[in-house]
Structure 1
């Protein structure tokens, strides 16, 4: 069983890889189901505060790139006002603080805005661990990942690149880290990423993806 988890996704036997991926999917389903039943009071409290804080929906949906470059809609708690300019990266807004809501600022700092992605994981659109899903128009990252076949696996809530530099990384480095994960994906590495993510969040170091300076994207997080 231990050898199964240590199996390398490229050099390991195909059956071993598929078996681990099957186990990984079962774990994703079970853990996300438990999380939904456990965290529903948190969802409710956040929803109430969001409605009291500003007009607009509780959830924010955004088109992303999934496994095999299939499109899906990622879910987040809305952190920006409904009058925020569309298809514009947050970092190039004239004054982004004018558009981020009070509760939204807290949600971003604590990464709680990412919680609804548990639903994406339950549906099989994402995994707990994997490369962060690229925006549908983040063409540079999609292209770089294609060279390394990193688009061939499920995107994740958190990943190897997110605990090794996050937004500070150039696109090429993110893609290489995604390749490393794809080639070395196993239970030990997944566990390491999971616990390092928790550690980062507790330090308010928010493991998240966003727009880097060399990223050709259009981001609107309303």
Structure 2
């Protein structure tokens, strides 16, 4: 049932939000010269897929988890996109393709081995990764792998249609601060 909701919502979202996609893409060309960011992530059953986002950091930024990235790598436009969570919108394409769900555990990088181990133990990779979920609205990011895996498992075990829409609404209403960036630099 969630797959049908995901597909319809992603299709409608891409259609309705296409003017925003166009505007951010144009602005992104002026900001970094490359507005789209594609990165290999860990998906369902630990299969790799290519996550699509709007670029928020300089093109030469090292491919690490956001909490390990330097604050100075985030561009001016990128800062706005992150605060408004608009940088996540292209993931609707991943949802449409069946690689992600609107709600699920955030997909990690393959070099996040501690998180991968914790998630593997709890069966988190048995479901599609998502754009948002319980951890995101509670501001739990990938810097605390064990806690994140436990919250992901809790979300999976308690996911209902009500909670699915609740997580989406809370995210749209501003709950959660988005991916954390290393402070100071």
In the alignment, the residues of structure 1 paired with residue 105 and residue 68 of structure 2 have an alpha-carbon distance, to the nearest angstrom, of 25
Cα drift, residue 199 of structure 1 = 1.9
Aligned counterpart for 2:85 among listed residues 111, 115, 123 = 111
Task: Say whether residues 1:59 and 2:36 are aligned partners.
Answer: yes
In the alignment, the residues of structure 1 paired with residue 139 and residue 179 of structure 2 have an alpha-carbon distance, to the nearest angstrom, of 10
Task: Say whether residues 1:137 and 2:111 are aligned partners.
Answer: yes
Cα drift, residue 160 of structure 1 = 1.1
In the alignment, the residues of structure 2 paired with residue 76 and residue 63 of structure 1 have an alpha-carbon distance, to the nearest angstrom, of 11
Equivalence for 2:10 = 32
Equivalence for 2:133 = 159
In the alignment, the residues of structure 1 paired with residue 65 and residue 3 of structure 2 have an alpha-carbon distance, to the nearest angstrom, of 33
Superposition pairs of residues 88-127 of structure 1, within 5 angstroms: 88=64, 96-97=71-72, 99-127=73-101
- Number of aligned residue pairs: 182
In the alignment, the residues of structure 1 paired with residue 104 and residue 111 of structure 2 have an alpha-carbon distance, to the nearest angstrom, of 19
Equivalence for 1:87 = 63
In the alignment, the residues of structure 1 paired with residue 30 and residue 15 of structure 2 have an alpha-carbon distance, to the nearest angstrom, of 24
- Structure 1 residues 108, 188: CA separation in 2 closer, same or farther (over 3 Å shift)? same
In the alignment, the residues of structure 2 paired with residue 186 and residue 91 of structure 1 have an alpha-carbon distance, to the nearest angstrom, of 30
Superposition pairs of residues 202-213 of structure 1, within 5 angstroms: 205-206=176-177, 208-210=178-180
Cα contact 1:68–1:153 (8 A) shared by 2: yes
Taking structure 1 as the reference length, what is the TM-score of the superposition? 0.75
**Would you identify which runs of 4 or more consecutive aligned residues in structure 1 move more than 6 Å?**
none
Task: Say whether residues 1:176 and 2:154 are aligned partners.
Answer: no
Cα drift, residue 74 of structure 1 = 0.5
In the alignment, the residues of structure 2 paired with residue 72 and residue 168 of structure 1 have an alpha-carbon distance, to the nearest angstrom, of 19
C-alpha RMSD of the superposition? 2.1
Structure of higher CA gyration radius: 1
SS of alignment partner, residue 21 of structure 2: helix
Cα drift, residue 72 of structure 1 = 0.4
- Structure 1 residues 90, 184: CA separation in 2 closer, same or farther (over 3 Å shift)? closer
SS of alignment partner, residue 73 of structure 1: strand
Structure 2: which 5+ runs fail to align?
none
Cα drift, residue 134 of structure 1 = 1.2
Equivalence for 2:50 = 73
